[in-house]
Amino acid sequence: MRYEFLVAGSVSETVEAAFPELTATRARAGGTSLHGPVEDDARVRELLARFEDLGITVVEMRQLPD
């Protein structure tokens, strides 16, 4: 499965380094898209918890076609 996590604003290199399994790209409307393969639902929850721990608000999350 592949997922995309949209966050408001741009993210720092430190944040990008905290998510080595995801690729960060500039999204429309000035946000950032972090996207990549995610093994299962438990991993999705782990990623969301990591975003929360870093104080990053996920604006939108969606599963992408493989």
Give the C-alpha separation, 54 to 57, whole Å. 9
Give the C-alpha separation, 32 to 43, whole Å. 20
Give the C-alpha separation, 47 to 5, whole Å. 9
User: What domains lie within the chain, and their CATH numbers?
Assistant: 2-64 (3.30.70)
What is the per-residue pLDDT for 28?
79
What is the per-residue pLDDT for 27?
86
What is the per-residue pLDDT for 53?
95
Q: pTM of the prediction?
A: 0.91
Query: For residue range 9-64, what is the model confidence (pLDDT) as tens digits?
Result: 999 999 999 999 999 999 877 899 999 999 999 999 999 999 999 999 999 999 99
